Amino acid sequence: MQNISAILYLIAAVLFVLALKGLSSPVTARRGNLFGVIGMVIAIGTTFLIMDKPVLALIGAAMAAGALIGAYKARTVEMTGMPELVAAMHSLVGLSAVLIAIASIFHTGLTHSADQKVELFIGAFIGAITFTASVIAYGKLSGKFGSKSVVFNGQHLLNLLMAIVMVGFGVAYFVADSHAAFLAMVAVALVLGVTLIIPIGGADMPVVVSMLNSYSGWAAAGIGFTLNNPVLIIGGACVGSSGAILSYIMCKAMNRSIISVLLGGFGSDAGGAAAGPSGPKNYRSGSAEDAAFLMANADSVIIVPGYGLAVSRAQHALQEFATMLTEKGVNVRYAIHPVAGRMPGHMNVLLAEADVPYEQVLEMEEINSDFANTDVVLVIGANDVVNPAAQKDKSSSIYGMPILEAYKARTVIIVKRSMSTGYAGLDNDLFYMDKSMMVFGDAKKVVEDLVKAADH
């Protein structure tokens, strides 16, 4: 039986790796999800197979409740709610790691080796930090806690002291096998998860969500060693490493330090307007009919989608308009910034939902060089990812952040509700350029007007 279970766990682990690979592209995402589902079914079935006198009623009830809640959320969650949903899921992974570790500690029939004690310590404290940090991230993303950073004097020193105390309790547990010390370590880690995240503003939450994804993976891997479960170790390590890689990519995309993210408190919102002359600025506005005329008579159009597109659910109408332009002989493409929306891949999924052809969707590195030769750029619901201050204003808090270079196009059309700042709290000089035209209104209503105008 041991050999059979090892082979089944290996098959499940391979399927998890294939799932991750499949999820790296919208083209193969469905297949990747299928691999993941099959792998999880095999892993759960194998666990039941090797369990010694499992309490089937209790386990079945918990699984049924989780499946019902998961199915409900999957069917009802809006695309705009995905970031906070992911953060909430990370919190459950962290909490699971903590509860499993505590159950293992208080299990009267178990004795733990030195290695297992270290694994329990690592899995529990990472899980505890992940749990409370994810709850705070969920609150910031959903607006329940507010997106502003919370900063006070001595914050980093407090975090350092709590980390030292946490490790101290961990050492006490290791040396004296003290249950009280282990629980105290978990309690400190829970508080540390809060203090690490509260100084991070809403504009940086996409990076935080990605890093918490990594933390949850490492927590699962740590507990996998304790349970001697190879598929949990492999799956957790895959999630942890892929989350860390994604966090690094996002940090580069947002001009952040990966070390600062790991330590928590790269600090404040990217708030405050860029330095420059005060007072009102002049901008040019137009109608949806004007915008449709410009794009219908262009040779090339690049569409830059942002979070505002997701909020208004305008992706289907936008694709209808893009199809109409294509039929008129216009070369239409979509430009995706790594942190467009509020989580990695947000815009890709949104456009896939509207059946946008994959070959029309290009990443920032692929399309940035084409903006200078593009007739019209349509920026819809985006702000910070096209802000020229990132390249031109050294006093700006986003200076050095890679952007989609929409300002290089011959004409730029920006769809926004108002002249308010974006998620990072910065004004955007792109709005005031002579080549730019603002079209005010709800994104979906504006795009529907574009479709009507193009149809005439």
Which residues carry out catalysis?
A: 384
* Sign of the dihedral through C-alpha 140, 145, 150, 154: negative
The structure tokens listed for 69 are 């809640």
The structure tokens listed for 160 are 């350092």
Q: State which amino acid sits at residue 410.
A: R
| Whether the Cβ atoms of residue 286 and residue 438 lie closer than 8 Å to each other | yes
User: Residue 376 forms beta bridges with which residues?
Assistant: 301, 411
Q: Is 436 helix (H, G, I), strand (E, B) or coil?
A: strand
Q: Is 172 helix (H, G, I), strand (E, B) or coil?
A: helix
User: Residue 414 forms beta bridges with which residues?
Assistant: 379, 438
Cα–Cα dist 369/348, whole Å: 20
Cα–Cα dist 288/440, whole Å: 9
Cα–Cα dist 407/377, whole Å: 9
Cα–Cα dist 120/240, whole Å: 17
User: 411-416 and 436-440 as β-strands: parallel, antiparallel, unpaired?
Assistant: parallel
- In order of 106, 116, 245, 252, the CA distances from 237 in angstroms are 26, 17, 12, 23
User: Residue 285 forms beta bridges with which residues?
Assistant: 438
Q: Phi, psi (5° rounding) for residue 378?
A: -105, 110
**Eight-state DSSP code of residue 285:** B
Q: Phi, psi (5° rounding) for residue 292?
A: -65, -40
Q: Which residues 6+ apart lie within 8 Å of 20 measured at CB? A: 32, 238, 242
Cα–Cα dist 407/349, whole Å: 26
- The residue among 177, 196, 210 whose CA lies nearest residue 128 is 196
- The residue among 388, 418, 411 whose CA lies nearest residue 401 is 388
The structure tokens listed for 169 are 């309790």
Q: State which amino acid sits at residue 44.
A: I
The structure tokens listed for 104 are 């293992």
